[in-house]
Structure 1
Amino acid sequence: MDTLKSTSAGMVFGAALTLSRVYVPTVIINQLRLRDFHMLEVFLTASASSALIMLGFEKFGIAKRSVRTNSSLGWFSYYDGNIIGGSLLGVGMGLTGACPGTVLPQLAQGIESAPWTTLGAVLGGAMYAKFGKSLVFSSHSSKDEDPIDLNNHTISSKFNASPSATFLTFEGLVITTTALSALLLPGKTFAILPTVVGGLLIGAAQVASITLTSSPLGVSNAYQQLGSYLCRAIGFEDVPRPPFPPKSILFALGILIGSAVSGPLLPKLANAGVVPISNIQAMIGGFILVLGARIAGGCTSGHGISGLSAMSFSSLITTAAMFGAGIVTQLILK
C-alpha cells in the first residue's frame, strides 16, 4: 500500500511539472539569465498555494507543517550548510538546466542531456550517502520535533513577527510579485497553460503528497537512496541500506510515470535545444546539483516550495543562495 501511495503521489507531481512545462531546460536557464520568468511565476504560485494547503491541514488537524531545520557544516555559520549546499544546487541548475525534480520529466520527455544529468545526480547521491553524514551536523525535516523547538526554525521567529503576520506578508508578496511579473516581465515562451495554473497544479501535487505519503514534496532524497544502493553494490557495506520500501525512489518513479503519461497531451516542444548542454557539463552539473541539495537538506521542491510554504527560515536562506548562485553561474557561462 505504501508503494502505491508513494508512486501515485509522484505521478501527480510528475504530471504537474510536465503540464506546467517548468521542467524544460531552456525555461530554467533563461530564468537564471533573467530573460524568461515562466519558472518564477510557477514557483511562486506553487509556494503560495502550498502554504495555504499546509495552513489548512494544520488547522484541521490533518497534518503538521514540516518545518525544516538548519543544515550546519560547523564552518562559519549555523546555516552554512544551507548557504553552501544551496549555492552548489544553484550552480548545478545553471549547468544542467534542471533541478533534482525536473530532471525526471526531462528523462521521460526525451531531453538529450537528461540521462547524463541523472547519472551525475546518482553519483552525487552516492557521494553524500558515503561521506555526507560525517560532514553535515543537521539536515532534516523537523516535523517530529517538539513544537517549541520547531517554532524556533520559522521565519516569524527570526524576525520576531507573529505567524499570522508572516503568513499574510508571504502571501501578499507572492501575489504581488507574480502579478507584476505576468504584466511586466518577458518570457513564457514554452507556456501552454497560464503560469498560475501550472503553479496551482503543483499545489494539487502537494495535497496528494501530504495526503498519501504524510510528507511534503521533495525529490533529492531519492538520489541519496539510489546512491546508497550503488555504494553497497560496489562494496561499501558501511553505507546504510535505505528503508524498505524506499519511498523516495518510488516517488521519483511516479514522477517519471506521470510525466510519460501526461506528456502526449501537450504539443511537441519547438526549439527545445536552444541552450546546448554537453554531456560532460550535464554529468558534472547533476553531481553538483544533488550533492548540494543533500548538504542543504532539500532541493528546489523540498526547500523552495515545501520549505518556504512551511515558513522555514533555513528554506529562505537555501532558496536565496540557490537562485543567486544559479544566476551568477549563467552570467559566467554567457
Structure 2
Amino acid sequence: MAANMDIIDPVTVGVVFGSALTISRVYIPTVIINQLRLHDFHMLEVFLTASASSALIMLGFEKMGIAKRSVRSKSSLHWFSDYDGNIVGGAILGIGMSLTGACPGTVLPQLVQGVKSARATTIGALLGGTVYAKFGKSLTSSSHLSKDTNAVHTQPLTISSKFNISLNSALISFEALLIAFTAVSVLYFPGKAFVLLPTVAGGLLIAAAQTVSIYLTSSPLGVSAAYEQIGSYICWAIGWNNVPQPSSPPKSILFALGMLVGSAVSGQLLPPLTNSGMVPVTNLQALLGGFSLIFGARMAGGCTSGHGLSGLSAMSYSSLITTTAMFGSGIFTQWLLK
C-alpha cells in the first residue's frame, strides 16, 4: 500500500499543480516575456500571491508538526562566492526564461496546450537535463563547505539568520512586502493579456497545490529535478553508466507526468487561446532557451517553483539570491533583445 502511495501521491500533486498553472494562464509565453519586459504584471501578481500564501502554509504545517519548512541549500561553484552556483545558475535560468517565455514548470502545460514553441523548448530542456546529469554535478556542491573558514554548517542559511532577526519578524516583513507589492501592481499595473480570472485567485490556486504537495509528500513544489532524472535515464540508455540512476519510483518524473494530465484535463474546461497578441518565439530561441532553463536551474539547485515559490516561502537565503539573479538576468536579456 505504501509503495502505491509513493506513486499516487506525486502524480496527484502534479495534477493539482498543472491545473493551477493552466487555469491561472501563467504558463503562456507572452505573459512571461511581457513580465520580463515590465509591460504586463500578470505573472508577478500570481507569483507574489502564491509565495505569500505558501509561506503561511509552510509555517502552519510546521507548527502542527506535519512537515518542517524545507530550507534550500546553497549551491557553490567555488569561483567567487559560496553562493556563486545560485548566482550563475539563476542568471542562466533567467536567460532561458527570456528566450523561451517559459520556466521549467510551465514548459509542461505549454506542451499540452499546443504552444508552438513548446516542442523545441522541451527538447532543449531534456538536453539540458542530460548534460547536467552527466557533467553538472562536478561543477556544483551543496556540502555547505565554506572556502573562508572550512567549517561545515549543519543547517542551510535562512533569511532571518542571515540578517539576525527572528523568524516571526522575517515572516511579517515578508508578508507585508509581498502584499504591498501585489496591491500596488493590481491597482496600478494590472495584467492585461489572456486573463481568465483575477491574478490573486490564480496565486491562491498555486498555493493550494503547495498545500497538497506538503500534505501528501512532505515536500514543497519544484519541477526541474524531473528533467535531470530523465536526463539520467538518457545517459544510461546511451551508455554513460557512471551517472547515478534516479530513486525508485522516480517521484519527480511522476510529478511531471501528473502536471501533464492536470493541464490536459483543466485545459478542456477553458476557452481556447488565440494567436492574437502572442510574442513569437523561434525554434532556435526555444531550443537554446530550454537548455538554459534546466542547466541553470539544476546548477542553482532549483527553478522558479523550487526557489522562487517554495524556497522563498521557506525563508531560504539561497532562494533570495537565486530569484534575484533569475529575474534580473531575464529582464536584462529582454532589454538586450529589444
Q: Same fold (TM over 0.5)?
A: yes
TM-score in terms of structure 1 length: 0.96
Q: Is the 8 A contact 1:24 1:272 kept in 2?
A: no
Partner of 2:205: 201
The equivalent position to 1:58 in structure 2, one of 59, 62, 82, is 62
Q: Is the 8 A contact 1:139 1:297 kept in 2?
A: no
Does residue 247 of the first structure (1) align with residue 251 of the second (2)? Answer: yes
The equivalent position to 1:311 in structure 2, one of 301, 304, 315, is 315
Q: Which letter does structure 2 place at the counterpart of 1:28? A: I
Partner of 1:137: 141
Aligned 1:92-107 pairs, distance under 5 A: 92-107=96-111
TM-score in terms of structure 2 length: 0.94
Q: Which letter does structure 1 place at the counterpart of 2:121? A: T
Distance (whole Å) between structure 1 residues aligned to residue 270 and residue 112 of structure 2: 14
Q: Is the 8 A contact 1:14 1:255 kept in 2?
A: yes
Root mean square deviation, CA, Å: 1.4
Partner of 1:15: 19
Percentage identity across aligned positions?
Answer: 70
Partner of 1:283: 287
Does residue 161 of the first structure (1) align with residue 175 of the second (2)? Answer: no
Q: Which letter does structure 2 place at the counterpart of 1:221? A: A
Distance (whole Å) between structure 1 residues aligned to residue 289 and residue 23 of structure 2: 25
Does residue 3 of the first structure (1) align with residue 7 of the second (2)? Answer: yes
CA change 1:49–1:266 in 2 (3 A) is same
Does residue 83 of the first structure (1) align with residue 92 of the second (2)? Answer: no
Distance (whole Å) between structure 2 residues aligned to residue 20 and residue 4 of structure 1: 24
Q: Is the 8 A contact 1:32 1:327 kept in 2?
A: yes
Aligned length: 327
Distance (whole Å) between structure 1 residues aligned to residue 156 and residue 229 of structure 2: 29
Does residue 220 of the first structure (1) align with residue 216 of the second (2)? Answer: no
Q: Is the 8 A contact 1:119 1:286 kept in 2?
A: yes
Q: Is the 8 A contact 1:152 1:158 kept in 2?
A: no
Partner of 2:266: 262
Does residue 40 of the first structure (1) align with residue 44 of the second (2)? Answer: yes
Q: Which letter does structure 2 place at the counterpart of 1:164? A: N
Distance (whole Å) between structure 2 residues aligned to residue 330 and residue 262 of structure 1: 31
The equivalent position to 2:299 in structure 1, one of 295, 312, 327, is 295
Q: Which letter does structure 2 place at the counterpart of 1:292? A: G
Q: Which letter does structure 2 place at the counterpart of 1:251? A: F
Q: Is the 8 A contact 2:75 2:83 kept in 1?
A: yes
The equivalent position to 1:112 in structure 2, one of 96, 101, 116, is 116
Partner of 1:329: 333
Post-superposition CA distance 1:216-245 (Å, at most 9, x none): 000000000000011111110001111111
Q: Is the 8 A contact 1:36 1:186 kept in 2?
A: yes
Q: Secondary structure at the match of 1:265?
A: coil
Q: Which letter does structure 1 place at the counterpart of 2:329? A: A
Q: Which letter does structure 1 place at the counterpart of 2:166? A: S
Post-superposition CA distance 1:283-309 (Å, at most 9, x none): 110001100000000000000000000
- Of residues 227-236 and 266-275 in structure 1, the stretch that sits farther from structure 2 once superposed is 266-275
Q: Is the 8 A contact 1:82 1:318 kept in 2?
A: yes
Q: Is the 8 A contact 1:67 1:150 kept in 2?
A: no
**Which aligned segments of 4 or more residues in structure 1 are displaced greater than 3 angstroms?**
148-152
- Cα deviation, residue 188, structure 1: 3.1
- Cα deviation, residue 30, structure 1: 0.2
Q: Is the 8 A contact 1:17 1:105 kept in 2?
A: yes
Q: Secondary structure at the match of 2:330?
A: helix
Partner of 2:34: 30
- Cα deviation, residue 210, structure 1: 1.0
Post-superposition CA distance 1:93-139 (Å, at most 9, x none): 00000000001000110001011101100110011100111110118
Unaligned runs of at least 5 residues, structure 2 = 145-151
CA change 1:152–1:277 in 2 (3 A) is closer
Does residue 176 of the first structure (1) align with residue 184 of the second (2)? Answer: no
Q: Is the 8 A contact 1:151 1:157 kept in 2?
A: no
